[in-house]
Amino acid sequence: MAKVKTVFYCKECGNESLKWVGKCPGCGQFNTMVEEIKETKKKSELQKSISTANKPQKINELKIDNTIRVMTTYDEFNRVLGGGIVLGSLVLIGGDPGIGKSTLLLQICASLAKNTTVLYVSGEESEQQIKNRAERLNIISDDLYVYSENNLITVTNHIGHLNPGLIIIDSIQTIYLDYIQSAPGSVPQVRECTSALMKIAKTKNIPIFIVGHVTKDGAIAGPRILEHIVDTVLYFEGENYNTFRILRAVKNRFGSTNEIGVFDMKEDGLVEVLNPSGIFIEDRSTGYSGTCVVSSIEGTRPVLIEIQALLSPSSFNNPKRMATGVDYNKLSLLIAVLEKRLGYLVQNQDAYVKVTGGAKVVEPACDLAILMSIVSSYKDKPLNPDDVFIGEVGLTGEIRRISRVESRCIEAYKMGFKRAFIPKKDIGKYQFPNNFTVIGINDIEEAITYAYNLNAF
């Protein structure tokens, strides 16, 4: 009997090693090497099912297809993808269990099944279970095919017979190739299955969506090479006690990154929210200290987001810092600037900062709003509910220039706000709405002075 050969793969980056090592030489992570059986069979069956009869072509002789994108009936979904589904693209969508990934993709299938054939492959549910969900969503279509199968070679054969216009794989961790002697979901299986699906998408010009499980840290399970192979990575985020869901693009070769689409989970499926600003600030309470509104750019559009802060005396030598929706290091940096430049004694108080609605703010233009919410809680004085604060805060306390100031202020004006605090260098360069006051500030001291003294400017 031939000896079974094993190799070690890194769970994070997929790096291969003949022996176990504590630190992966590829990504530098510790304790990520897992032992798997090395593949011994040939890939002949899969290679036959995937046509690769391409040849190099001159770029000047290539013709651009005007129908390179396919539009769905969901504008929020089209926006996140950069303007529709790109033909021949491979899209990875991840999210917590039960968040609604399968529901969203089934609704997308029903939308596109009106004009083309769609194949929904599930390795986790039977055809009858998918049918039950489709009836709950009122999905009826003669061109929507469902198939419960885990073997990718069998799935590939049916793809060749149906020649669908869209393929859904739910999920990639349940699909396997029988010539790889490893369990489904292992590093070799996930890597080889994703590579095979990429070849199918590119050679047959069929868009493919694959669902990926996530770890307890919120990252997509499997090697990081999985995210490098695909064209687009989407995260479906939300909270169990909230019906709103956020579809976020963290990688997109055909559109903007950090674009978001907002959906509302109803009894009959997901409904798109066309005005996210109204959702994020609809429950905003006025007259309380520690709240501030910022006009943030999410992908290609401005969205108004409320930031809340709470400062309370600490009972310990090291005060507690907690951030939800805001980077922890950014919170520490802004508190340090506040203490150093203005002399605010925050080092003996616990600081809690939260972004409402389950949103996340990452762009520097939100620095001023975070800092002003902290100042409001420290002074225990509410800010004017008609104000928005936009600007990047430097280490010297200066307010630095930001992008797309005009569109941010227009969005604030549409939502009923009357004033905006922006960097002074951006004053005079843009056209702002009438009956909307724009205040230019140089540093955080001016921002605090003007915010609490209406006659200071």
Output 86 or 23, whichever has higher pLDDT: 86
Q: To which residue do tokens 């340090």 refer? A: 336
Mean pLDDT over 396-411 rounds to 92
pLDDT band for position 28 (50/70/90)? confident
Q: To which residue do tokens 């233009």 refer? A: 365
Structure confidence at residue 346 (pLDDT): 87
pLDDT band for position 314 (50/70/90)? confident
pLDDT at residue 218 is higher than 70: no
Is 262 found in the same domain as 307?
Answer: no
In a domain, 54, yes or no: no
Structure confidence at residue 413 (pLDDT): 93
In a domain, 61, yes or no: no
Is 344 found in the same domain as 245?
Answer: no
In a domain, 181, yes or no: yes
Structure confidence at residue 318 (pLDDT): 86
pTM, full prediction: 0.78
pLDDT at residue 369 is higher than 80: yes
Q: How many domains does the chain have?
A: 3
List pLDDT tens digits, range 270-285: 999 888 888 888 778 7
Quote the longest CA-to-CA distance of the chain. 90
Q: Which domain holds residue 27?
A: 6-37
Structure confidence at residue 61 (pLDDT): 81
Structure confidence at residue 192 (pLDDT): 87
pLDDT at residue 6 is higher than 50: yes
Structure confidence at residue 376 (pLDDT): 94
Is 194 found in the same domain as 296?
Answer: no
pLDDT band for position 258 (50/70/90)? confident
In a domain, 457, yes or no: no
| Beta pairing, strands 437-441 & 419-423 | parallel
- Is the bond into 171 cis (omega within 30 degrees of 0)? yes
Is 245 found in the same domain as 206?
Answer: yes
- CATH code where residue 178 lies: 3.40.50.300
pLDDT at residue 456 is higher than 50: no
Structure confidence at residue 426 (pLDDT): 82
Structure confidence at residue 108 (pLDDT): 95
Q: How many CB atoms lie within 10 A of CB 81?
A: 27
List pLDDT tens digits, range 42-65: 555 565 556 555 678 888 887 766
Mean pLDDT over 228-250 rounds to 85
- Residue 121 φ/ψ, nearest 5 degrees: -105, 125
Is 292 found in the same domain as 242?
Answer: no
In a domain, 55, yes or no: no
List pLDDT tens digits, range 283-294: 787 888 999 999
In a domain, 384, yes or no: yes
pLDDT at residue 1 is higher than 50: no
Is 89 found in the same domain as 30?
Answer: no
Is 286 found in the same domain as 212?
Answer: no
Calculate the alpha carbon distances from 216 to 22, 30, 96, 220, 393 in Å: 22, 18, 9, 9, 33
pLDDT at residue 402 is higher than 80: yes
Is 265 found in the same domain as 358?
Answer: no
Please check whether residue 105 is in contact with residue 211, taking contact to mean a CB–CB distance below 8 angstroms. yes
- CATH code where residue 324 lies: 3.30.230.10
From 274, 290, 322, the end of a domain falls on 274
Average model confidence (pLDDT) for the chain?
Answer: 86
H/E/C letters for each residue in the chain? Answer: CCCCCEEEEECCCCCEECCCCCECCCCCCECCEEEEECCCCCCHHHHHHCCCCCCCCCHHHCCCCCCCEECCCCHHHHHHCCCCEECCCEEEEEECCCCCHHHHHHHHHHHHCCCCCEEEEECCCCHHHHHHHHHHCCCCCCCEEEEECCEHHHHHHHHHHHCCCEEEEECHHHCECCCCCCCCCCHHHHHHHHHHHHHHHHHHCCCEEEEECECCCCCECCCCHHHHHCCEEEEEEECCCCCEEEEEEEEECCCCCCCEEEEEEECCEEEEECCHHHHHHCCCCCCCCCEEEEEEEECCEEEEEEEEEEEEECCCCCCCEEEECCCHHHHHHHHHHHHHHHCCCCCCEEEEEEEHHHCCCCCHHHHHHHHHHHHHHHHCCCCCCCEEECCEECCCCEEECCCCHHHHHHHHHHCCCCEEEEEHHHCCCCCCCCCCEEEEECEHHHHHHHHHCCCCC
Mean pLDDT over 147-167 rounds to 93
pLDDT at residue 38 is higher than 70: no
In a domain, 438, yes or no: yes
Is 134 found in the same domain as 248?
Answer: yes
From 224, 256, 274, the end of a domain falls on 274
In a domain, 201, yes or no: yes
From 235, 252, 274, the end of a domain falls on 274
Is 370 found in the same domain as 446?
Answer: yes
pLDDT at residue 454 is higher than 60: no
Is 238 found in the same domain as 151?
Answer: yes
Is 33 found in the same domain as 94?
Answer: no
Q: Percentage of the chain surpassing pLDDT 90?
A: 51
* CA dihedral of residues 197, 199, 202, 207 (deg, nearest 10): -10
List pLDDT tens digits, range 318-366: 889 999 999 999 999 999 999 999 989 888 899 999 998 778 888 899 9
pLDDT band for position 457 (50/70/90)? very low
Output 335 or 315, whichever has higher pLDDT: 335
Structure confidence at residue 65 (pLDDT): 64
pLDDT band for position 455 (50/70/90)? very low
